Amino acid sequence: MEKLRIGIIGAGGIAQHRHLPTFQKLDDLCEVRAICDVNLARAQEVANSYEIPIVSDDYHEIFSEVDAVCICTPNKFHAEIAVAAFEAGLHVFCEKPMALTAAECEAMIATSKKAGKILDIGFHYRFTKEAQAAKKAMSEVGTPLVVRVKALRQRKVPGWGVFTNKELQGGGSLIDWGCHFLDLALWLIGNPNETEVSGSVYNELSKIPNQPNEWGTFDHETFNVDDHVTAYIKFENGASLLFETSWAANIKSDEEHLSISGVDGGLSVYPFELYTAKNGMLLNSKAPWLPGEEQPDLPQARNFIEACLGKSELVVKPEQALQVSRIIDKIYENGGTLS
C-alpha cells in the first residue's frame, strides 16, 4: 500500500509529544522521512530518537523528499511555510491556529486550491469521542439557538516555550486555547456566518508581580498577551455564542464547558449529555459508553493522511479554520488594548 512521506517542520513540544509518536503508530499509512528546525541540534536529536533519515535547518531543503509537511513552528511562520509547501506541490497539516491573521489564512487557502493539495489544521478537539458524539446528536438538538463556551483555567499561564510571546504567537489565551473551543462550537452548529462579534480582552492578573501560577513562570513586566477573554457572537441563522476563555482566572477550578440549546433539545459536550423533551417528559441522557478512540491524536492524523491519499474526506475544512481566525481577529480588534 502506498505510504505518505511526511516532513516535520519545527521539532519542539507539539512535534515531539503529539505528531511524531502518532505518525509512528500509523506506520502502515505513513513514514516520517524528514525533519527540519532552525535549531539544527534539536532537529538532529529528535531525528536520532525517531530514526528520521533527512535532517535540515531550512524547510525548503526537505520539500523534494516528502509528499506532505506537518507544520509545528510558532504561529508566526505557519502561513509562510504553508504557502511555500503548496508551491512545491505538497499537502500541509498545520498546527492550530491556522495563522496569525485571517488575511494569512486566506493566502494559505488560495495557494492550496491553486496547487490542488490538502490543507488541514490541528483542531484536535473535534476528534474527541465526546465531540464526535455531539456532532451526531445535533439532529436531536434541532436548530441551534444559544451556545455557551467556558474554556477556563485557574491560574495556569503556560510559562514555557512560545506561548506568552506576542510576536511569535499573535496573542495569548484566545488564540492559543480558546481557538479550540471556538472551532468546536462553530463546527457543531454548522459554521453559520457570523454577523456581529464583540469582546473584552484582559491581562490585568498576569501583570501583577508574584502571582501563583501552576504551569511554570513568566515575566509579569513583559507579559503583553491576553490571559482572559470574553466575547458575544451573533450568527446569520439567529444563533448566538456566549464565549469565555482564560489561562488565569480567579475561579474555583478549571472548566471545559461547551453546551448548546436548540429548538428541539440541548447538549453538553464535556461530559457528553443530551437534554430532550419527549412524550410530555423532560429527559436528560448520559452516555455510559461512547464509540471512538481515547486520544484524538490518532484519528486526527489518520484523517489527514487518508485525505492526502484520496481515501477520506477532510474533517477540518480550511474555510472553517479561517472563520475561527476571522472571529479571533475581530475580538482582538474590538476587545480593547493591552499594555
- Establish if 166 lies at the interface with ligand NAD (CB under 6 A): no
- Establish if 273 lies at the interface with ligand NAD (CB under 6 A): no
Strand (E) or helix (H) holding 9: strand 4-9
CB of 101 to ligand NAD, least distance (A): 14
- Residues of 110-148 as b/e, b for ≥16 C-beta within 10 angstroms? ebbeebebbbbbbbbbbbbbbbbbbbebbebbeebbebb
- Stretch of residues binding ligand NAD (CB under 6 A), selected from 74-82, 143-151, 283-291, 317-325: 74-82
Q: Inter-axis angle of helices 318-334 and 179-188, to 10 degrees?
A: 120
In the chain the first and final C-alpha atoms are separated, in Å, by 55
Residue from 13, 159, 190, 192 touching ligand NAD (CB under 6 A): that is 13
CB of 18 to ligand NAD, least distance (A): 7
The closest alpha carbon to 113, from 258, 295, 322, 306, belongs to 322
Residue from 77, 218, 243, 270 touching ligand NAD (CB under 6 A): that is 77
Site residues (CB under 6 A) for ligand NAD, limited to 46-65: 59
Residue from 161, 190, 192, 292 touching ligand NAD (CB under 6 A): that is 161
Residue from 24, 39, 139, 284 touching ligand NAD (CB under 6 A): that is 39
CB of 173 to ligand NAD, least distance (A): 12
Strand 30-36 relative to strand 265-268: parallel, antiparallel, unpaired? unpaired
Cα(266)–Cα(116) distance, rounded to whole angstroms?
39
CB of 240 to ligand NAD, least distance (A): 26
Distances (CA, A) of 45 to 30, 42, 220: 21, 5, 33
- Residues in binding contact with ligand NAD, number by CB under 6 A: 25
- Contacts with ligand NAD by CB under 6 A lie at 9-15, 36-39, 42, 59, 72-75, 77, 95-96, 122, 124, 161-162, 176
